[in-house]
Amino acid sequence: MSDAMLHEVAFVRYHRWLARAAGNPVPLVVCNAAGELVWCDESEAATALVQAMIDLRHTGFDWAFAGGGFASHVLANGQTLLYRPIDGASAVVGWLATCVPAYAPGAEPAALDALAECFEDMAASIADECRLKTDLNGMTEELAERYEELHMVYGVDQHVRQHGHQEELFDRLLQSCAQHLDIDVVAFVRPAKNQCVSAEQLSAPIHNLDLVLVELRGDLFRFVQATRDAVILNAADDPRRAYVLTDMPYKVLACPVRCTDQIDAALVLLNHAHKPDFTNGDRRLAEVLANQLSSLTQTVSLIQQLAGFNQQMAAALVEAVEAKDPYTRGHSERVHHISMEIGRALNLSERDLENLFWGSLLHDVGKIGIPDAVLCKPARLTADEYAFIKVHPERSYEILRHIEYLADALPGARHHQEMWDGGGYPHGLKGDHIPLAARVIAVADTYDSITSSRAYRAGRSHEEAMREINRVSGKQLDPSIVALFNYLCEAEPEWLLRFRIRREPALADHG
């Protein structure tokens, strides 16, 4: 219990209590443990007593107290000082004092018994009040810290809900932590993966920040990994600095992040020396964030594994289709790439781009079910043979519909052969009723179908393809997407060379 709590006590009511016990007005002075004035009543007697006690302090008065109601000491003005300690949990936090006319030792007035009993009760009551105020302040601080923890956890949850589990999420979370806790540098280090993500809220420049971040991945990380516990370095002369963070004057709070059964990452908070020391409350908050980062790291790892598996599965399906017809090899990859270029130019959301990614890559999976005699025929198809080709979007849907993850990507693959004027297949959708992803894939698919070679003809030039695409704009293809595709192609995209698209001689020389 701090003697600072004495300043929050309403001593007026204790003064009234003392006057009732004495039967007449009695001065009351309250001092801290060192004898310095905390409070006194407004009477002349109290003012005179304060001055007498100041003079007494200059003589080295030691506030001797042997127990009982109060101790006494004869003042220079002939009056008797009566005083009693206010006991804290482990030490004296203050003194109660009053004065009465002088009396001979052993001949105390009977009225002093009631006064002594009152002093004893007052001291106990004041001590209890100070203790309660201390406890209340502690609870308030604890609640504030818990609020900070809850606010941080809520912030992490909100970031995850809004932005998913992408690796870039680490940047947002660390930036939020730096701003919320007013930390100069917050870093997530994972040396085994050569990973270091950091955010700054600098109160003063750190000119060698890159070097500092490298240092965090060295001995400091190994120390946290070995101790498996958080470490706080506040003092500049902390002996651990010699082998943990050499020649770095910053205050450090580092917490282990358990990404697996092993500790292979750490969360590090750095502050300039002029900032307040890191506290146990800061440590608890850092541990909360470290636990969140641990869960997030494992989730990101699982999602990356799943994404890798999905891509391998998709590559296997595409390979199965293209193995049937060597003339279509690379078609899905090219349509996929061009579709994604158009999708990004449309400023599609991350989720819509994800759906376009899978829809464009797998749009021809249904051709697996088309007989080789039809798919690989070196001449033009008959009407019946073309009917087999026309069912491939529905076959794509039938093959992929059991994969729940691809549910939102299926419309792009299923309807990429619909026409803007309603003359397409499989359902004859028209205009904006055709899913946007399907309209994008349709433009990319038409372009690649014209520019790539087939068994019965060589691929035509980019310029021929663009003339044909513009000719069927508003009939077969969405005119707004055709216009955007024209704009993209005017910039001579790199895939024209990568996909070895043939160019008309004059324009090719000009490019």
Q: Supply 305's token pair.
A: 């594994």
pLDDT at 70: 86
Tokens 């085994």 correspond to: 192
Distance CA 409, CA 368 (A): 19
pLDDT at 192: 84
Mean residue pLDDT of the chain comes to 83
SS3 194: coil
Count the Cβ atoms, other than its own, within 10 Å of residue 169: 19
Contact 297, 259 (CB under 8 A): yes
CA angle 485-487-488, nearest 5°?
65
Contact 80, 100 (CB under 8 A): yes
Query: Which residue type sits at 81?
Result: L
Q: Is the pLDDT of residue 148 over 70?
A: no
Q: For 436-452, how does the pLDDT look when each residue is reduced to its tens digit (9 = 90+)?
A: 999 999 999 999 999 98
Count the Cβ atoms, other than its own, within 10 Å of residue 356: 27
pLDDT at 83: 94
163-172, 240-249, 485-494: which has the highest mean pLDDT? 485-494
Kindly report the backbone phi and psi dihedral angles of residue 205, in degrees, each rounded to the nearest multiple of 5, phi listed first. -65, 150
pLDDT at 182: 83
Higher pLDDT, 488 or 217: 488
CA angle 301-303-304, nearest 5°?
65
Higher pLDDT, 219 or 148: 219
Kindly report the backbone phi and psi dihedral angles of residue 496, in degrees, each rounded to the nearest multiple of 5, phi listed first. -60, -40
Q: Is the pLDDT of residue 158 over 60?
A: no
Task: Identify the band that residue 4 occupies on the pLDDT scale cut at 50, 70 and 90.
Answer: confident
Collect all residues with Cβ–Cβ distance below 8 Å to 77 and sequence separation of at least 6.
48, 52
pLDDT at 69: 83
pLDDT at 393: 79
172-176, 397-401, 467-471: which has the highest mean pLDDT? 467-471
Collect all residues with Cβ–Cβ distance below 8 Å to 423 and sequence separation of at least 6.
475, 476
Average pLDDT over residues 211-224: 88
pLDDT at 508: 46
SS3 292: helix
Q: Is the pLDDT of residue 258 over 60?
A: yes
pLDDT at 269: 92
pLDDT at 388: 65
pLDDT at 141: 67
Distance CA 115, CA 112 (A): 5
**Strand ranges inside 9-158, DSSP E:** 29-32, 37-40, 71-74, 80-87, 92-100
Count the Cβ atoms, other than its own, within 10 Å of residue 422: 14
Collect all residues with Cβ–Cβ distance below 8 Å to 124 and sequence separation of at least 6.
none
Domains and CATH numbers, the chain: 3-137 (3.30.450), 164-301 (3.30.450.40), 325-510 (1.10.3210.10)
Count of residues in the chain: 511
Q: Is the pLDDT of residue 95 over 90?
A: yes
Count the Cβ atoms, other than its own, within 10 Å of residue 13: 10
SS3 454: strand
Tokens 């190994």 correspond to: 222
Q: Supply 24's token pair.
A: 């007449």
Average pLDDT over residues 227-236: 90
Tokens 């498996």 correspond to: 228
Distance CA 165, CA 302 (A): 10
Which residues pair with residue 98 across a beta bridge? 82
Q: Supply 266's token pair.
A: 């750490």
Average pLDDT over residues 466-476: 96
Q: Is the dihedral of CA 114, 117, 119, 125 positive or negative?
A: negative
pLDDT at 411: 93
Average pLDDT over residues 417-423: 94
Average pLDDT over residues 392-408: 81
SS3 85: strand
Q: Is the pLDDT of residue 39 over 80?
A: yes
pLDDT at 510: 47
Half-sphere exposure of 362 (CA within 13 A, CB side): 32
Contact 480, 441 (CB under 8 A): no
Distance CA 482, CA 473 (A): 7
Q: Is the pLDDT of residue 177 over 80?
A: no
Pairing of β 231-233 and β 251-257: antiparallel
Q: Is the dihedral of CA 131, 132, 134, 138 positive or negative?
A: positive
